[in-house]
Chain A
Amino acid sequence: MADKMELRDVEVWDGNMAASQAMRQVQIDVVAAYPITPSTPIVENYGNYLANGYVDGEFVMVESEHAAMSGCIGASAAGGRVATATSSQGFALMVETLYQASGMRLPIVLNVVNRALAAPLNVNGDHSDMYLGRDSGWIQLDAYNPQQAYDLNFIAFRVAEDHEVRLPCMVHQDGFLTSHTAQGVKTLDDDTAYNFVGEFKPMNDMLDLDHPVTHGVQTEEDWHFEHKARQHNDLMTKVFPKIEAAFDAFEKLTGRRYNIVETYNTEGADAVVVCMGTSVETAIEVAKELRADGKKVGVIGIRVIRPWPHAQIAEALKGIKAIGALDRSSPNGTFGMLYNELAGTVVNSGESKVLTNYVYGLGGRDLTKVHLREIYAELLANAEAGKPTTPLQQLIGVRGPKISFH
């Protein structure tokens, strides 16, 4: 039996500490992990809990991220609670196994501390790794600060392990900006935290020796589509009600409210930016200041990236005239992912909206309040004109001559 840890009601934790404490509290059975900046402290903290008797599961320090997720898959199929953490290149190395984990319907939780992808090599935060995972069949939740990194882990285990869902779940946080920035985090005591997630209930577990199971079969054109179709269908139809229910239960427990799509000052707004991660908090600051100046602007933060909350975003964008999609990943030859996804959501809204794309913050470059003020000014001009007054895609905060397209 693992020892309980006494926590203060509010601890000063960075995002990595917050995530690792949540992992400790839900009493994971197997963590197979490999360290990589900036998620390394999650793995180190977990090792520290183990060394001091606060964890009684298995901690397998493997030789690569691919092996980390491979071990997680084997452990999860065996029948127990499983999680790990990674970033960037490690995430990229894991990609093959991410598809295998979700296709095998294994409820693994992966903390992804977002970081840029090489080349050039870069250890700082952007959303390239997060975007790389978007078609992998996982649920993806996004935290904007350490408190959320803590809270969303409990949501992730509860939803992923639900027998109607049985899909793995990523909890994203921004490298360094969240992972290494200490803030006040309101905690749950160990029992309350564990009980929110509850005891792991195995299904098709290999270790049930009286009921052998075959995991990871071959399907070709005869059955492959049916498997993928069911997985997609479950992502589209079963996940949101479970997330919603988990958010409700979490609010009842803690008073902290989460939403599939987070909206700030969107009521009566002419222009909004849509973004993810720590940028949401910066944008809120700027939007507040602009509102005080009488500018009708707001912020939409994506909380659930996958499944894509089409209906919730469409609802949140009702009446909004100009939208700035902020992508923190190099699109490498097209519009940013957020722009394209929003375009897909907006195009059938029956309302005329101007949608433009800003690519920002690559490799940890700051998104400043000055940048956001400029963006809002352009968006308000678009709202006023009822058409784009700027190029559709602009790179902001980058040296040299202005780079923009279309």
Chain B
Amino acid sequence: MSEMKKIKNLKEFSTSADRFEGANLLCPGCAHSIIVREVLNATNDDLILAASTGCLEVCTAVYPYTSWDASWIHIGFENGSTAVAGAEAMYKALKRKGRLKQPDREPKFVAFGGDGASYDIGFQWISGCFERGHNMMYVVLDNEVYANTGGQRSSSTPIGASTTTAPAGRVSYGEKMNKKDMLAIMAAHGSPYVAQVAPNKWKDMVKKIQHGLATEGPVFINAMSACTTEWKFLPEDTIAISDLATDSLVFPLYEIIDGRKLNITYRPKNVIPVKDYLGAQGRFKHLFKPENKHVLDEWQARVDRDWEYLQRREEAGV
């Protein structure tokens, strides 16, 4: 295994050489680019990358340009996981046969996909890759919506959010379903390491990415990616919104090792009310009408219950 990259401070981290170029077409304030830079800058390892169709893909590889200074492949919407798994299989074959061009280097295989590509249409492909145990990392850029196509609901869309296919209206408060718990599902695959990360907690992010890349087997990372366009907040507020998400425990940061052992990796000093997080985004604006108060109450109750569950699981150590 190659030596872990030492990162002293944010300035050094944010200015170290990029394999993901700033020249891309993502929206100003898009958390995708922050997360991808954090993932790539966390390591000095050689990387073989894949992306599923989505915002990241359409904004970073528009012919004749590319934002990627590492080998990168995109096939379709559902198969970014299997694309990188195929490349990993080829690496193993060529290594065994002595045909690698740089036999002393050990690249890492990382796939990126949005929540639509991961929670929905590409779910089976990810499940297959994890069951087969490819040595790869799968990173979800989870903005809780089909952002690339204009804001339709996905199975990651949280309850009460207004999307273009489940809009809030005169008789509807928007999304009726709770967000799918992908981390639990991927942990149930027996993955050696699954974790939730957020771009505002960059030290936590780096630690988890480094741990994940050093882990043998399929590693799953769910990264909260605040979407200025579809969540409806100002582009300069991406990190502030992300702070509200992690500090309200709407998006708790934790990891599960070997499918069982759960560690909470961030405990806010002051837990803020969920409505502070919801109120900062246009997609939840309608929840503050009197008739939707029950949704706000349910939100807070659910976040409390989930946090309690995570803490109990951590304490139990199983």
Interface residues of chain A, those whose CB is within 8 Å of chain B, are 29-30, 32, 56-58, 60-64, 66-67, 70-80, 82, 96-97, 100, 104, 205-210, 212-220, 223, 227
Q: How many A-B residue pairs have CB under 8 A?
A: 168
A27, closest chain B residue (CB):
B97
Contacts of A100 in B (CB 8 A): 75-76
Q: Taking CB as reference atom, which chain A residue is nearest B58? A: A218
A29 and B97 in contact (CB under 8 A), knowing A63-B131, A214-B61?
A: yes
Q: Which of B61, B66, B85 contacts A74 (CB 8 A)?
A: B85
Does B153 interact with chain A (Cβ within 8 Å)? no
Q: CB distance A74 to B83 under 8 Å?
A: yes
A298 CB to nearest B CB, Å: 45
The answer to whether B76 and A30 touch across the interface, beta carbons within 8 angstroms, is no
Closest B-chain residue to A96, C-beta based? B76
Instruction: Give the residue of B58, B63, B82, B100 whose beta carbon is less than 8 angstroms from that of A71.
Output: B82
The answer to whether B289 has its CB under 8 Å from any CB of chain A is no
Once bound together, how far apart are the Cα atoms of A77 and B48, in whole Å?
11
Q: Which of A63, A72, A80, A220 contacts B93 (CB 8 A)?
A: A80
Q: Are B91 and A78 in contact (CB under 8 A)?
A: yes
Q: Is B132 an interface residue (CB 8 A)?
A: yes
Instruction: Report how far A340 CA is from B93 CA in the complex, Å.
Output: 44
Interface assignment of B84: CB less than 8 Å from any CB of chain A: yes
Would you call A207 and B85 a contact (CB within 8 A)? no
Q: Is the CB of A223 within 8 A of B102?
A: no
Which of B48, B68, B90, B102 touches A58 (beta carbons < 8 Å)? B90
**B221 is an interface residue with CB less than 8 A from chain A:** no
B46: interface (CB < 8 Å): yes
Q: Are A32 and B72 in contact (CB under 8 A)?
A: no
Are A70 and B86 in contact, with the CB atoms below 8 A?
yes
Q: A212 touching B72 by the CB < 8 A rule?
A: yes
> Can you offer 18 A-B residue contacts whose CB atoms are under 8 A?
A29-B93, A57-B97, A58-B92, A63-B125, A74-B50, A74-B83, A75-B89, A78-B87, A80-B93, A80-B94, A206-B71, A206-B73, A206-B87, A207-B101, A210-B102, A214-B72, A217-B63, A218-B58
* Residues of the B chain whose Cβ atoms lie less than 8 Å from the Cβ of A78: 48, 86-87, 90-91, 94
How many residues of chain B have a CB within 8 Å of chain A? 48
Tell me if B63 and A218 are in contact (CB < 8 A). yes
User: Hey, which chain B residues are within 8 Å of A29, CB to CB?
Assistant: 90, 93-94, 97
Check B75–A207 contact: CB distance below 8 A.
no
B210 within 8 A of A: no
Give the docked Cα–Cα distance between A220 and B63 (Å): 9
Task: Write the chain A residue with the least CB distance to B107.
Answer: A209
What B residues does A79 contact at CB under 8 A? 90, 94
Bound Cα distance from A63 to B132, whole angstroms: 10
CB-defined contacts of B46 to chain A, threshold 8 Å: 209
**Contact residues in A for B294 (Cβ distance below 8 Å):** none
Q: Report chain B residues within 8 Å CB of A62.
A: 82, 128, 132
In the complex the two chains form, what is the Cα distance from A306 to B222 in whole Å?
Answer: 44
Q: Contact at B124–A73, with CB atoms within 8 Å?
A: no
Q: A74-B73, A77-B83, A212-B68 are in contact. List 5 more A-B contacts (CB 8 A).
A: A63-B127, A74-B88, A205-B101, A214-B61, A214-B73
**Alpha-carbon distance between A97 and B80 when the two chains are bound, in angstroms:** 12
Q: Would you call B90 and A70 a contact (CB within 8 A)? A: no
State in angstroms the CA–CA spacing of A66 and B93 once bound together.
22
Bound CA–CA A81/B49 (angstroms): 20
For B124, the chain A residues whose CB sits under 8 A away are: 63-64, 67
Give residues of chain B (98-154) contacting chain A, Cβ–Cβ below 8 Å.
99-102, 105, 107, 124-125, 127-128, 131-132
CA A227 to CA B58, docked complex, whole Å: 17
B96 interfacial contact with A, CB 8 Å: yes
Q: Give the distance to chain B from A257, nearest Cβ to Cβ, in Å.
A: 34
B78 part of interface (Cβ distance < 8 Å) = yes
Smallest CB-CB separation from A59: which chain B residue? B89
- State the Cβ distance, B40 to closest chain A Cβ, in Å: 12
Known A74-B50, A215-B73: A67·B105 in contact at CB below 8 Å: no
CB neighbours (8 Å) of A60 from chain B are 85-86, 89, 132
Contact A216 B94, beta carbon cutoff 8 Å: no
Asked if A74 and B128 make an inter-chain contact with CB atoms under 8 angstroms apart, the answer reads no
Contacts of B107 in A (CB 8 A): 207, 209
CA of A61 to CA of B132, assembled, Å = 8
Counting CB contacts under 8 A, is B208 at the interface? no
Contacting residues, chain A, for B82 (C-beta < 8 A): 32, 62, 67, 70-71, 74
Q: Is B79 an interface residue (CB 8 A)?
A: yes
Cβ of B317 to closest chain A Cβ, rounded Å: 33
A211 to chain B, nearest CB (A): 8
**In the complex, are the beta carbons of B125 and A70 less than 8 A apart?**
yes
Residues of B near A96 (CB, < 8 A) are 76
Within 8 Å CB of B75, what residues of A? Answer: 70, 73-74, 97, 100, 104, 216
User: A207, A216, A223: which contacts B74 (Cβ < 8 A)?
Assistant: A216
B69 at the interface (CB under 8 A from A): yes
Q: How far is the CA of A79 from the CA of B99 in the complex (A)?
A: 10
State whether the Cβ of B177 lies closer than 8 Å to any Cβ in chain A: no
Contacts of A67 in B (CB 8 A): 79, 82, 124-125, 128
Q: Is the CB of A207 within 8 A of B86?
A: no
The complex places the Cα of A58 from the Cα of B127 at a distance, in Å, of 19
* A77 contacts B63, C-beta separation under 8 Å: no
Chain B contacts for A209, CB-based, 8 A: 46, 71, 101-102, 105, 107
Q: Is the CB of B90 within 8 A of A215?
A: no
Interchain CB contact (< 8 A) of B48 among A30, A207, A210: A207
The reply to whether B84 and A219 form a contact with Cβ atoms under 8 Å apart is: no
CB–CB B63/A207 < 8 A: no
Select the residue from A29, A72, A74 with max chain B CB neighbours within 10 A. Answer: A74
Determine the chain A residues whose CB is within 8 A of the CB of B247 once the complex forms. none
CB distance from B35 to the nearest CB of A (A): 20
